[in-house]
Amino acid sequence: MVVIMQFLYYAILRNVIEYFNERGSNVYLASLDASKAFDRVNHFQLYMSLMKRRVPVAFLNIIIN
C-alpha cells in the first residue's frame, strides 16, 4: 500500500509540474519528511502545552487526527 501511495504522490507531483511548465510558469518545490520528528515526543505533554497556550481546540483536533 505504501508503494502505491508513493507512486500516486509522484504521479500527481509530475502532473502539476508539467501543467505549470507547459504554461510557461516556474515551479518551485520544498519538501520535508517529518515522519520521525515526533517519535520521541510525549504527545500528551505536547497537547497539554498547546492547550495552555490557548491554541484553538479545532486546530489541536487536526493535529491529533
pLDDT, position 22: 95
- More confident position, 60 or 37: 60
Q: Which three cell numbers stand for residue 58?
A: 479545532
pLDDT single digits (tens) 2-44? 677 788 888 999 999 999 999 999 988 887 776 666 677 788 8
Q: What is the pTM of this model?
A: 0.45
Number of helices followed by number of strands (H, E) in the chain:
3, 0
Beta strands, E only, 1-65? none
Domain positions in the chain are 1-31, 32-65
In whole angstroms, give the CA distance from residue 13 to residue 6.
11
What is the C-alpha separation between 38 and 42, in angstroms, rounded? 8
Average pLDDT of the segment spanning 34-59: 83
CA–CA separation, 42 and 53 (whole Å): 17
